[in-house]
Amino acid sequence: MSEQGPTPRIHVLDPRLANQIAAGEVVERPSSVTKELMENAIDAGSRRIEIEIEQGGTRLVRVRDDGIGIGEDDLPLALARHATSKIESLEDLEGVSSLGFRGEALASISSVSRLELVSNASDDPTRGFRVVAEGRGMEARVAPAPHPKGTSVAVRDLFFNTPARRKFLRTEKTEFAHVEEAFRRQALSRYDVTWVLRHNQKTVHQLPAGDSAAARERRIASLLGKNFIEHARYIEREAGGLKMSGWVGLPTHSRAQADQQYFFVNGRVVRDRLVAHAVRQAYRDVLYNGRHPVFVLYLELDPDVVDVNVHPTKYEVRFRDSRMVHDFLYSSLHHCLAASRPADASADDDALPAVEAPTAGADVAPDEPTPRWQQQGMALGEGPARHPGAERVRRFMQGYQALHPDHEESLLTPQPPAEQSPQPHQVREAPVAMPESDPTSAPPLGFALGQLHGIYILAQNAHGLVLVDMHAAHERIVYERMKNQMARQGVDTQPLLVPVSLAASGQEVATVESEHEAIASLGLELDVAGPETLLVRSLPALLSGADPEGLIREVLEELASFGQSHQVEARLHALLSTMACHGSVRANRRLTLDEMNALLRDMERTERSDQCNHGRPTWTQMSMKALDKLFLRGQ
Ligand code: ADP
Ligand code: MG
C-alpha cells in the first residue's frame, strides 16, 4: 500500500463556495447574467426594461425594471440560494409559467461578482431599499435607498474573485455580441414590454412596446434586419391544444449559419433537438445543401404538458407527447413552405395597368367568359398547327408528356383553375386560409415576352417584369408531379425493348445488389450482368425519354452515400429530385411563347415552385417602380 495521509473529513461547504459551484452551471459570461436579470424583470410583470452594459458586461450589467418590486423583509431572501417567490410545491413546478423557479440565479451571480440590488414594492418613490451580499456566509446587508417602483440590479466586475473563470472571457466586442443576442431573444419573446439596451452609454436598441402585427414586424426588422421580414412568411396554426405562430424565412432566404433561428415555447426561448429536427425535416425539400433556414416561431401549449426543469439554463424542454409536437411542427411548416408559389402580390406597386395577353394564342371569341390566360392554353390545345412554332410545340409536348403520362396535367393542354389560388408572395396570412382567386384577373406570373440566351424566360405581369429560370422552374414542377404520382400510385415501370448494358464500378454493382428494393420502388430494373457490368431492363415510365446512364449513375451514387438511412421517403424524394433534374428542360432549349406561357401556368399551380429542388429561386420580379428607378424616370 502506498502511503496516505489521514482520511479527509467531510464538512459542509460555506455558502459562498456552494454558490460559486452552482454559478458554474448558469453563469458563463456577462450574457448569462443579463439573461437571468431580464427574466426576473419579466417575471415581475414589468412594462419597461432597461439594460445598461459597460465593457461588454465584464465591468457592469445593470437591469432596471418597473415591475412589482421586492418588499423590505424579502430582500435578504432574494439573494439566498433556493429562495424563490415563484413556486411552493412540486405541483406548482409541473405547471410553471414563470421563467424562473429555481431560486438560484441571484445567489449564484452574487457569489462571483459585486451585486447590488435596489428595489421598491410601493408606489412611493421616496421609499426603497438596497441590499448587497457579503462575506463567506453571504449574509445580506439591507439599507434604505430611494427607488421608483420596481427593481434595479447592478452586477459589477464579474468573476473578480474567480480568476479561472475570468480567463474564459473574450474581447469586449465578443462579450457584448453575446449580450445583444440574449437581449434579442428576450425582446422577441415579449412585444408588450418596452426594451432598451445601452452599451458604454450609447443606445444600441430602443424598442417601444406594441403588440399589433405591424409593431411586431417593426421590432423583428430592427432586431434581425429588414431583409428577414421581407423574405419571411407569417404562419399561424392551431390544433390539438397546440398553437404555433410566427415568421418563417422563405427557403431562398437561407443563411450560411444557423443564427436567426428563434423558437419560443410558452414565451421561453429554447434550443431543442426535437424542434430543430422537425424544422430541418420541413425544409429538407426546399433548402440548398448546407444552408440554414431563418425563423421566429412561437409555440404555445398547456404548461402542464411541457417540462421546463430539464436543464439549469432552461434552454431545453421536454414535451410529454413529443411525437405529437414533432408532427405538429413538421406538418405546419411543411404546409407553409409548400404554399410558396408565384402569386399576384407585390407590396410596392399601386394601381398598374392590367396586362394584356400577348398575341400568340389570343385568337378566341372576345365575349368568351373564360379568362384570357386560360384561353391561351385552350387555343393551343385545340390547334397547335395554327401557330408558327407548331412543330416545336409538338415535339416539346411529346417530351413533356412522356414525363407526365397524366394528360390532364400536361404542360400544354388547358387547365382548370387551380383549386387553391396562388398565394400572395408575402402576405402575412395563415397558409391554410388561401384567398379565392379572381378568375378574370391576369395570372400572377403574367405572359411570356421571350427567352434570354436560352436560359431565362422574360414575362410581363401586372407589376412589371418577371424573370424565370426555365430549368430551375421546370425541375420543381416535374419533381412535385413525381412526388404526387408516387404518393398516389407508386412509380410506373416501363421495360426497355433492348436492355442497355452499362460499365459499372464495384461500388455501383454492390449498391445494385444491396439496394434492390429501393431501386425497384423507383421503377428501375437493374441486373448485375458481371463484376463490372450492369443491365438496365426497365426505367420509370416517367423517364423513358431521359438519358438512362447519367440517371442510373446518379441514383446509385445517392443510394450508396445515403448508407443505412432510415428515411425512406427522404431518400425517394431526393432520388426523385435527381430524376427531375434530368427530366427537365435544359438551358439552351428554344421555347415558343406558348410553351413559355404553359410553363408559367404550371408554376402557378405547383407547390413550392418559388424555388427549385436545390432551394435556388425559380423566378424573380422587377417591378415597374424598380425599373423606373433604374432609368431615373419621374425623379
Ligand atoms: P428565481 O427567479 O428562480 O425565483 P432568482 O434568484 O432569480 O430566482 O430570484 C430570487 C427571487 O428574487 C425571485 O423569486 C423574486 O421573488 C425576487 N426577484 C428577483 N429579481 C426581481 C425583480 N427584478 N423584481 C421583483 N422580484 C425579483
Ligand atoms: Mg430568476
The pLDDT value given to residue 577: 75
Number of the ligand 1 atom closest to the C-alpha atom of 68: 25
The pLDDT value given to residue 59: 97
Our mutation pick for probing the ligand 1 site, out of 43, 98, 115, 138, counting the most ligand atoms within 8 A of Cβ, is 43
Our mutation pick for probing the ligand 1 site, out of 77, 101, 106, counting the most ligand atoms within 8 A of Cβ, is 106
Non-local CB neighbours of 331 within 8 Å, separated by 6+ positions: none
Instruction: Locate 490 and state its grid cell.
Output: 407508386
Helix (H, G, I), strand (E, B) or coil at 115: strand
Picking from 401, 474, 415, 480, the residue whose alpha carbon sits closest to that of residue 443 is 415
- Give distance in angstroms: CA of 434 to centre of ligand 2: 43
Half-sphere CA count of 27, side-chain side, radius 13 A: 29
Non-local CB neighbours of 285 within 8 Å, separated by 6+ positions: 337, 573, 577, 608, 613
Instruction: Decide: 58 in ligand 1 pocket, CB within 6 A.
Output: no
- Give distance in angstroms: CA of 66 to centre of ligand 1: 14
The pLDDT value given to residue 411: 34
Instruction: Decide: 40 in ligand 1 pocket, CB within 6 A.
Output: yes
The pLDDT value given to residue 253: 78
Mean pLDDT by 10 residues, the chain (635 residues): 75 87 86 96 97 98 98 90 85 82 90 95 95 79 94 96 91 95 97 98 97 94 92 92 93 80 92 82 74 91 85 80 85 83 45 34 33 28 28 36 37 32 33 38 87 91 91 84 75 81 90 85 86 88 66 75 44 68 69 88 84 79 90 79
What's the farthest any 2 CA atoms get from each other in the chain?
108
Instruction: Decide: 44 in ligand 1 pocket, CB within 6 A.
Output: yes
Strand partners, 333: none
Half-sphere CA count of 14, side-chain side, radius 13 A: 9
The pLDDT value given to residue 420: 33
Q: Is 517 exposed, middle or buried (0-12, 13-18, 19+ CB in 10 A)?
A: exposed
- Give distance in angstroms: CA of 153 to centre of ligand 2: 12
Number of the ligand 1 atom closest to the C-alpha atom of 108: 6
Strands 114-120 and 129-134: antiparallel
Non-local CB neighbours of 217 within 8 Å, separated by 6+ positions: 229, 428
The pLDDT value given to residue 299: 95
Cβ–Cβ under 8 Å, residues 539 and 496: yes
Task: List phi, psi (to 5°) of 274.
Answer: -65, -45
Distance CA 419, CA 340 (A): 15
What is the pTM (predicted TM-score) of this model? 0.65
Ligand nearest to the CA of 151: 1
Locate cell 421546370: which residue? 474
Number of the ligand 1 atom closest to the C-alpha atom of 41: 23
C-alpha R_g of the chain? 31
SS percent in the chain: helix, strand, coil, step 5: 40, 20, 40
Number of the ligand 1 atom closest to the C-alpha atom of 39: 2
Q: Where do runs of H (alpha helix) occur along 525-617?
A: 548-562, 568-583, 593-605
Instruction: Decide: 100 in ligand 1 pocket, CB within 6 A.
Output: yes
Q: Where do runs of H (alpha helix) occur along 454-566?
A: 470-489, 506-514, 516-521, 548-562
Cβ–Cβ under 8 Å, residues 458 and 451: yes
Cβ–Cβ under 8 Å, residues 591 and 396: yes
CA distances from 390 to 99, 216, 358, 585 (A): 68, 53, 17, 18
Distance CA 100, CA 308 (A): 10
Distance CA 384, CA 287 (A): 38
Q: Which structural domains are found in the chain, ordered by start?
A: 15-207 (3.30.565.10), 213-338 (3.30.230.10), 342-419+429-635 (no CATH)
- Give distance in angstroms: CA of 271 to centre of ligand 1: 24
Helix (H, G, I), strand (E, B) or coil at 158: coil
Ligand nearest to the CA of 78: 1
Instruction: Locate 404 and state its grid cell.
Output: 407526365
Cβ–Cβ under 8 Å, residues 101 and 93: yes
How far from the centroid of its chain's Cα atoms is residue 1's Cα? 62
Any idea what DSSP says for residue 7?
P
The pLDDT value given to residue 429: 29
Nearest residue (CA) to ligand 1, atom 2: 100
Instruction: Decide: 84 in ligand 1 pocket, CB within 6 A.
Output: yes
